[in-house]
Amino acid sequence: MKNTNFTLGMGTFRLQDQVAYDSVKMALEEGYRHIDTAQIYGNEAEVGQAIADSNTPRDELFITTKVWFEAFSEDKFIDSVKESLTKLKTDYVDLLLIHWPSPQDEVDMALYLNELKKSKEMGFAREIGVSNFTIAQTQQALDILGEDELFTNQIEVHPYLQNDKLVCFCQANGIQVTGYMPFAYGKVLANETLKTIAEKHEVSTAQLVIQWLSQRDIVTIPSSIKRKNLASNFEKVSIILSDADMKRIAELDCNDRQANPDFAPEWDASR
């Protein structure tokens, strides 16, 4: 793990306006220090205001945002990053990601990845990475940027979509995996197998899923608008899932992908 404040974060996808502000403020009050947003979420200003109003020291925070593909051109990329920083009320983000690879490779990957690297060199980002990149695209990114440049690949990971092949590829190449949508919009929280394992360990099903991800060395960024859930998700649980537990959870993988827009790349098989 490259940064201890990065281990568990709060996602802000779909959170808007006052709800986004309140949720981030509550998360920071409950101890979260990793906050994840994106240009396309339309909430960077609210996230930035909540962070500012929390009075949390900047060096304790790990702020992530993502560049949308409409800003991939050389004349738009850096300006879009500066705009994000203004909205977030910070001079830099800890992690700047490419949100999705360019649809149908309309923009050459070398161009926008070099703009990403330039953002880091200009001091606008401490670390850089990608999101929703397949194995082939991640390898291409490594070929363009070189080893040790990609901090993370942020991808969908939950018990119904375990993404083993991509996870293993990233980890073998020293790239931290960040798993988003850990609860698959709540679908996995109703799973009876997960409920049974959680009850055995005397934790909530959400805590079980977070622990399962942790034992796979995957950072995750659950989202909630309720303080109770934010606190429960962040709570450190003293459980270790056995090999038998992990095997039972592995059997739940059914390739049930939640984030699959029409511009998505051709996904790798989960296993």
Full-prediction pTM beyond 0.95?
yes
Strands 93-98, 62-67: parallel, antiparallel or unpaired by DSSP? parallel
Strands 62-67, 218-220: parallel, antiparallel or unpaired by DSSP? unpaired
Both structure tokens of 220? 């995750």
**Amino acid code (one letter) for 246:** M
* Dist. CA 46–CA 92, nearest whole Å: 17
Both structure tokens of 166? 């991509």
Mean pLDDT in residue range 216-229: 97
Evaluate if residue 53 carries a pLDDT over 60.
yes
Burial of 1 (0-12, 13-18, 19+ CB in 10 A): exposed
Mean pLDDT in residue range 119-137: 98
pLDDT for 1 equals 44
Annotation says 92 is catalytic: no
Choose the catalytic residue: 21, 32, 41, 160: 41
pLDDT digits (tens, 9 = 90+) for 226-262: 999 999 999 988 999 999 999 999 999 999 999 999 9
Both structure tokens of 30? 């409950």
Q: What is the pLDDT confidence band of residue 2, given thresholds at 50, 70 and 90? A: low
Mean pLDDT over all residues of the chain?
Answer: 97
All domains of the chain in start order, with CATH: 4-250 (3.20.20.100)
Mean pLDDT in residue range 52-68: 97
